[in-house]
Amino acid sequence: MRLPDEPENGATINIVPMIDVIFAILTFFIMSTLFLTRSQSLPVNLPKATTTQVQRSSTITVTLDNRGQIALNRQPVDLGTLESRVSSLIAPNQEAVVVLNADEQVNHGQVIAVMDQIRRVPGARLAIAAQRP
C-alpha cells in the first residue's frame, strides 16, 4: 500500500550540472597557470654560455633586440635617456641589479654603448643574461 504523498520514483541525483561546474573550474585553473610565467623582458635569442649563474630576480631589465631597439622593463627607450631612466628606478643609496638581455645578433658596439650607459648609474650592478647550451 502506497501513501498519497510518496513519489512514484525514488530520488535521483543529476550529476551533469556538477560535471559542468568541475570542468569550468578545471578550465579556469589551466588558463590561469598559463599566465603565471613572469616575463620581464622582450623575447630575444640570448647567447649561450656554459658558466652562466642564476641571479636573484631583478626589477630592472634592459633588453636590446635583434633590430637594435632598446627597452627598459618592456618600455621602449632611447640610448640617450637610458641612464636617467635607470637612475630614476634605483632608490638613493641603494643597489640594484640591472639585467641586460642582448640578442646574439646585435652589433657588439651597441651592446657596449648600452653597458656604458648602465655603468654610469650609481648603485647599478650590471648582469648580462645568457642561456645554458
Question: Is residue 121 situated within a structural domain?
Answer: yes
pLDDT at 6: 62
Q: Which three cell numbers stand for residue 31?
A: 588558463
- Between CA 38 and CA 40 the distance in angstroms is 6
Provide the whole-model pTM: 0.58
Per-residue model confidence as pLDDT tens digits over 58-109: 578 898 988 889 999 889 999 889 888 988 888 888 888 888 888 888 888 9
Distances (CA, A) of 49 to 21, 64, 82, 128: 48, 18, 26, 11
- 3-class DSSP assignment, residue 23: helix
pLDDT at 91: 83
pLDDT at 66: 85
Question: Is residue 87 situated within a structural domain?
Answer: yes
Question: Is residue 38 situated within a structural domain?
Answer: no
- Between CA 49 and CA 66 the distance in angstroms is 19
The values of phi and psi at residue 21, to 5°, are -65, -45
Q: Which three cell numbers stand for residue 35?
A: 599566465
- What is the CATH number for 69? 3.30.420.270
Where in the sequence is the domain holding 118, given as residue range(s)? Answer: 60-128
pLDDT at 52: 63
Per-residue model confidence as pLDDT tens digits over 14-62: 888 889 999 999 999 888 887 776 555 566 666 677 766 665 655 788 9
Question: Is residue 21 situated within a structural domain?
Answer: no
pLDDT at 126: 86
Question: Is residue 46 situated within a structural domain?
Answer: no
Q: How confident is the model at residue 12 (pLDDT cuts 50, 70, 90)?
A: confident
Instruction: Report the number of distinct structural domains present in the chain.
Output: 1
Question: Is residue 24 situated within a structural domain?
Answer: no
Question: Is residue 89 situated within a structural domain?
Answer: yes
Question: Is residue 54 situated within a structural domain?
Answer: no
Contact (Cβ atoms closer than 8 angstroms) between residue 84 and residue 43: no
Average pLDDT value for residue range 113-120: 90
